[in-house]
Amino acid sequence: MIKSVCGYCGVGCGLEYDMKSLVGDVGYPVNYGNLCSKGVSELVSMQTPTRLLRPMMRSSVTEPYSISSWEESISAVADAIRKAPREKIGFYLSGQLLTEDYYIANKLVKGFIGTNNIDTNSRTCMASAVVAYKKSLGADFVPVRMTDIFKSDLLILAGANTAEAHVVFHNQIKKAKKQGLKVVVIDPRRTDTAAIADLYLPIKPGSDIDLFNLLSKRIIDEGLYDEEFATQKLANFESFRNKFKRVATTKMLKRTGLESEEFEAFWELYKSSPNIITAWTMGLNQSVQGVDKNLALINTHLLTGKIFREGNGPLSLTGQPNAMGGREVGGFATMLAVHLGFDPESVEKVSQFWQTDRISDRPGLTATQMLGADLDVLVICHTDPVYHLPNRARVEELISHIPLVVEINAYENSESAKYAHIRLPAAPWGEKEGTQTNLDRTITKQEKLTRTSIDCKADWEIFQLLAQRLGHRERFDYANPREIFEEYREMTRLSDHLDIHRADYETLNEQPFVWGEGIRDFLTADKKGVLHFVQNELGSEKTNLEYRFLLLTGRTRDQWHSGTKTNLPQTLLKYKELNFCEIHPDDAAELGIRDGEQIRVVSPRGAILTKALVTDTIRPKCLFIPISNREINYLTNDLLDPQSLQPDYNHSAVKVERV
Ligand SMILES: Nc1nc2c(c(=O)[nH]1)N[C@H]1C(S)=C(S)[C@@H](COP(=O)(O)OP(=O)(O)OC[C@H]3O[C@@H](n4cnc5c(=O)[nH]c(N)nc54)[C@H](O)[C@@H]3O)O[C@H]1N2
Ligand SMILES: Nc1nc2c(c(=O)[nH]1)N[C@H]1C(S)=C(S)[C@@H](COP(=O)(O)OP(=O)(O)OC[C@H]3O[C@@H](n4cnc5c(=O)[nH]c(N)nc54)[C@H](O)[C@@H]3O)O[C@H]1N2
Ligand code: SF4
Ligand SMILES: [Mo]
């Protein structure tokens, strides 16, 4: 019996494998034996005929690929990197990579190639939360554990559909409800998550800042703030309070689209709850004002002092299995390793640790900037930017001008593969080992369960091969992931709060390690939290007479993003519909659209075919299409949050046509 961990979502459920079957680990304190359909199907996904099993090369994207060797393909990548100016090289990684993969890639690119152009799909996912945590708490630190819901009185879920996106955590919420937890769901769609809510608030998309500001205003006006905490632990309580004296509450409420009775019901629940957790995900992060939305939410916890106490705090629900680990290890172009920045002292520390003098002190290109930066070489690993970046027509145009696109993938059917010149076969979950950090700072280990397919390599090995070919064998000569983890563990001593040096690699699969458990204070220089006064600037794309609908996008329970691993024959994995478009009955009636009818959804950037799902669970004048429709991003706009550079996926103006 081997203990391992699920490689899909940020919940990080424990698994047991007995050479034949895969089941949930009954003793694991997150899932207690439960798994969702994705976790159960991990083994099946490993064995699909769509695995990429050989290195492949071609000289242009109009030609078919032919089988290559590792020797030939890695040499070709290394040659191109050697020839290119370092600012013309980009590495596009993923929150699904293991920590050891990330560590090697980051060390190679930032430390030895000497560019900070290494970023991750987490830019499209968690970047807004990272910036907001840093601005308010002083570090990218999630101050709540999932188990805290059992010590809380109220859980507010804002723009998070746990029933489909964090399934096993959702089951825990249901359990906590039986013990008295109340749940409020804030979402323009009455989702399956809303179905378990004590109060559901059908907010107008894009107005969460207004709602949380209304809450802060009430907290201040009715004296619900924690006076001692606010004056002693916060840097700027007085000035923040003053700014709230004259905010236009009627206008704010109007923008949320909520009735005043709905807000009053929320306030009643709020003020009578001693312990409160507010959790959020893409409904807030993916926005042109994503950071500000996070800050407006975090403000309510700072004002009330409901943070650093059991059962309280702002809980960002990380989506990918190791998006958090990727951040720790330095996967963003806007940070160095172990949560360090680009200040001279940090650059010096990291340079010494890696024994290099090539680290640049300038932030690199983010994932959302890379394709438009006229790169000579782009290396994509464990993610599919052509599928997932917004405004796909533009993305396709940009990527097709990059002279060398390298894709490292375990499967052959990604959208980015259509634009690659070299493809390298990675060993997927189950054929390799390494560590990951889940959404509440728990570090676990994926174990190798079967032999690695003959010509596949773990992602870290592929980066190491490249490093060696570039002449850095001395610094890149790791025999296994344990050696990499040991080095990374030591490196965390450079950080003042990442205590990962206390973790023990060998026992991680049996005994996960939770970093930062002792942290009960802000991580700013003066140990004070910072309130940020933010207002809804209405910067998202607006509907107009032609494009009358606002398109929301998101998850369905049984599919993982582009579906390379989960879009299996229904005989292997039962799943819900993949391609539909939720439309309100009033809108459908007006357009003469029947349930189940084929429709075309059109934005100023592109059009896709889908099927109408007429339902009153969605707000009128909004549509929802799941991202299991691989073409979704032909529709979305490419506005970015100026602070986090995260895209505004949830607010695109579209129209609907009958086919
Ligand atoms: N089954 C499954 N699970 C997954 C994934 C998957 O692909 N499949 N992916 C993982 C990843 S990477 C991530 S990031 C997470 C995402 O987890 P979630 O963010 O919970 O998932 P989404 O479906 O994107 O849900 C976002 C919700 O925000 C709502 N929303 C849209 N606009 C607004 C708004 O302006 N305000 C508010 N309050 N709500 C709004 C949408 O209606 C939607 O219900 O899921 C993770 N889990
Ligand atoms: N419209 C819209 N767009 C979105 C979002 C949205 O809500 N709406 N959400 C955004 C978010 S939050 C996210 S996280 C992204 C997700 O977008 P992506 O990261 O592009 O989606 P995935 O399908 O998970 O891509 C993972 C890739 O890794 C490959 N892979 C699997 N295992 C391995 C392995 O072991 N090694 C390697 N090298 N490759 C492997 C898979 O085959 C797949 O091609 O999408 C973003 N785009
Ligand atoms: S909830 Fe997440 S971690 Fe748990 S089994 Fe499902 S996909 Fe895997
Ligand atoms: Mo994500």
Ligand 4 (single-atom ion) residues, CB below 5 Å? 125, 319
Q: Which fold has domain 43-124+321-503?
A: Rossmann fold (3.40.50)
Of all protein residues, whose CA lies closest to atom 7 belonging to ligand 2?
A: 554
Contacts of residue 376, Cβ cutoff 8 Å, sequence gap at least 6: 80, 83, 84, 85, 88, 89, 402, 403, 404
pLDDT in tens, 443-457: 999 999 999 999 999
- Let me know the angle formed at the C-alpha of 558 by 552 and 562, rounded to the nearest 5 degrees: 65
Q: How confident is the model at residue 2 (pLDDT cuts 50, 70, 90)?
A: very high
Of all protein residues, whose CA lies closest to atom 26 belonging to ligand 2?
A: 383
Pocket of ligand 1 (CB under 6 A): 9, 125, 158-161, 164-165, 186-189, 191, 203, 205-206, 208, 281-283, 319-320, 552, 554-555, 557, 559-561, 650
Pick the CATH number of 127-316 from 3.40.50.720, 3.90.550.10, 3.40.50.2300, 3.40.228.10: 3.40.228.10
Q: What are phi and psi for residue 9, nearest 5 degrees? A: -100, 175
Give one DSSP letter per residue of 500-559, joined into a string: GGG--GGGTTTS-EETTTT--S--STTS-B----------S----SSS-EEEEEE--TT-
Asked if CATH classification 3.90.76.10 holds for the domain at 549-658, the reply, yes or no, is no
CA distance 36 to 15: 11
Q: How confident is the model at residue 20 (pLDDT cuts 50, 70, 90)?
A: confident
Mean pLDDT of 2-12: 97
- The beta-carbon contacts of 574-577 under 8 Å, at least 24 apart in sequence, are 574/37, 575/37, 577/611, 577/613
- Mutate which of 409, 418, 556, 639 for ligand 2? The one with the most ligand atoms within 8 Å of its CB, which is 409
Report the share of the chain in percent with pLDDT over 90: 97
- Let me know the angle formed at the C-alpha of 85 by 84 and 86, rounded to the nearest 5 degrees: 105
Q: What are phi and psi for residue 562, nearest 5 degrees? A: -70, -10
Name residue, tokens 């769901």.
185
Structure confidence at residue 349 (pLDDT): 98
pLDDT in tens, 565-601: 998 877 777 777 889 999 999 999 999 999 999 999 9
CA distance 471 to 107: 14
pLDDT in tens, 628-637: 999 999 999 9
> Residue 170 above 80 pLDDT?
yes
Structure confidence at residue 215 (pLDDT): 98
CA distance 650 to 577: 20
Of all protein residues, whose CA lies closest to atom 6 belonging to ligand 3?
A: 36
Mean pLDDT of 520-534: 97
CA distance 387 to 632: 8
- The average confidence (pLDDT) of the chain is 97
Q: Where are the domains of the chain?
A: 1-42, 43-124+321-503, 127-316, 549-658
Q: Which ligand is nearest to the CA of 284?
A: 1
Contacts of residue 21, Cβ cutoff 8 Å, sequence gap at least 6: 43
Mean pLDDT of 287-296: 98
